[in-house]
């Protein structure tokens, strides 16, 4: 993966997570404290380094809140932050980075820098205000100890990831996401057909028949009538229904669902596979999306569109991964 793509994907994932954290307390601007929280749940080496030091999301949230309250108290201001609620970022708009946070992200992809989450964390730790050093002190560690841990995890011997297997005749895309919850709970969430709309954006509701989630079971899903922000969704009638079949269930390591449009002739089904691995602080989830390639002359026509298909696949995978993580935060 080249630096530009890596930096763009890192910026996208950190922006979403940080602004989701800001939305929990009714803020529309994500600062460096929210950026720190986003790094704690990041699936790259930066997140693994933080979590391997015992820094989980709950502890990090408390440390950030306590540090902000201490800063206000040092100025003689007696105030408390609003009580945190659920994440509402996906239902609202008007969010932006603070100038300081945006500057750090920009610097992380500068000359001789990688632009990944590790580079962002290095910039954040070196941030001159001392905010992150104070937060780390509340978490029982130091910037130096964190950077040493990051260097170890970033070493070639440690920095390896499994690669999704390619299936002949099928196009596919794959990504990983970290979920701050036990592996068993994540598996149960992904194995429940009624909860499919929680992580699959093309499904708004399930026609519940009362049947149990058994292998080979098929459910009918309906496309959402509106976006999370309330704006109506325009969709052709033949695409309103989707069949959802449970095609694989190996508790608690793997779950797979097949999606198809029953009202569309010659439509290509989409297979969504989830592979779960227990990791420090939660669960690492590999998400693979695959679909049948077109044959004959249609494959030649579709060839120039494959870069666009890959980008769209990444977007949907990113949406799914973010939704799964959000469900446990």
* pLDDT score, position 75: 82
Residues paired with 219 in a beta bridge:
244
What is the SS3 string spanning 58-109? HHHHHHHHHHHHHHHHHCCCCCCCCCCCCCCHHHCCCCEECHHHHHHHHHHC
**Distance between CA atoms of residues 51 and 181, nearest Å:** 13
Residues paired with 258 in a beta bridge:
245, 271
Residues paired with 218 in a beta bridge:
245
Residues paired with 108 in a beta bridge:
none
Tokens of 275: 């592979």
Tokens of 189: 């969430």
- The answer to whether 81 touches 68, Cβ cutoff 8 Å, is yes
List domains and CATH numbers for the chain. 3-153 (1.10.1780.10), 170-327 (3.30.530.20)
Tokens of 188: 């149960």
* Spans in the chain with pLDDT lower than 70: 1, 79-82, 155-170, 209-210, 293-311
Q: Which pTM was predicted?
A: 0.87
Digit-coded pLDDT (tens) for 244-294: 999 999 999 999 999 999 999 877 889 999 999 999 999 999 999 988 765
CA within 13 Å, CB half, 280: 16
Could you tell me which of 132, 117, 162, 122 has the C-alpha nearest to residue 63?
132
Question: In terms of C-beta density within 10 A (0-12 exposed, 13-18 middle, 19 or more buried), how is residue 224 classed?
Answer: middle
* pLDDT score, position 293: 62
* pLDDT score, position 56: 96
Residue with tokens 């500068």: 110
Name the E strands within 88-240.
96-97, 170-179, 205-207, 218-222
Tokens of 255: 């779950």
**Distance between CA atoms of residues 56 and 58, nearest Å:** 6
- The answer to whether 38 touches 21, Cβ cutoff 8 Å, is yes
CA within 13 Å, CB half, 54: 7
* pLDDT score, position 294: 56
* pLDDT score, position 81: 65
* pLDDT score, position 230: 77
Sheet with 270-279, edge to edge strand ranges: 170-179, 282-292, 270-279, 254-260, 241-250, 218-222, 205-207
């Amino acid at each position: 993966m080249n630096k530009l793509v890596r930096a763009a994907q890192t910026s996208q994932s950190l922006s979403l997570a940080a602004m989701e954290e800001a939305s929990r307390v009714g803020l529309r601007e994500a600062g460096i404290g929210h950026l720190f929280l986003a790094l704690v749940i990041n699936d790259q080496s930066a997140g693994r380094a933080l979590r391997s030091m015992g820094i989980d999301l709950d502890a990090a949230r408390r440390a950030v809140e306590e540090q902000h309250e201490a800063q206000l108290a040092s100025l003689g201001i007696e105030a408390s932050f609003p009580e945190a609620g659920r994440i509402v970022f996906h239902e609202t708009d008007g969010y932006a980075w603070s100038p300081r946070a945006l500057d750090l992200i920009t610097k992380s992809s500068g000359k001789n820098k990688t632009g990944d989450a590790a580079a962002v964390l290095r910039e954040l730790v070196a941030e001159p205000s001392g905010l992150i050093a104070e937060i780390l002190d509340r978490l029982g560690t130091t910037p130096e100890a964190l950077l040493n841990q990051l260097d170890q995890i970033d070493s070639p011997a440690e920095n390896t990831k499994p690669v999704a297997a390619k299936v002949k005749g099928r196009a596919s895309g794959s990504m990983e996401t970290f979920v701050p919850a036990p592996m068993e709970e994540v598996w149960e969430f992904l194995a429940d057909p009624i909860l499919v709309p929680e992580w699959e954006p093309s499904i708004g509701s399930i026609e519940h028949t009362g049947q149990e989630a058994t292998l080979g079971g098929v459910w009918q899903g309906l496309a959402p009538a509106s976006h999370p922000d309330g704006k109506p969704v325009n969709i052709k009638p033949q695409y309103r229904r989707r069949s959802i079949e449970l095609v694989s269930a190996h508790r608690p390591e793997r779950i797979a669902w097949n999606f198809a449009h029953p009202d569309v002739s010659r439509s290509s089904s989409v297979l969504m596979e989830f592979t779960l691995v227990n990791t420090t602080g939660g669960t690492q989830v590999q998400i693979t999306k695959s679909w049948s390639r077109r044959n004959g002359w249609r494959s030649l026509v579709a060839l120039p569109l494959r870069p666009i298909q890959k980008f769209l696949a990444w977007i949907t995978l990113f949406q799914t991964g973010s939704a799964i993580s959000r469900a446990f935060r």
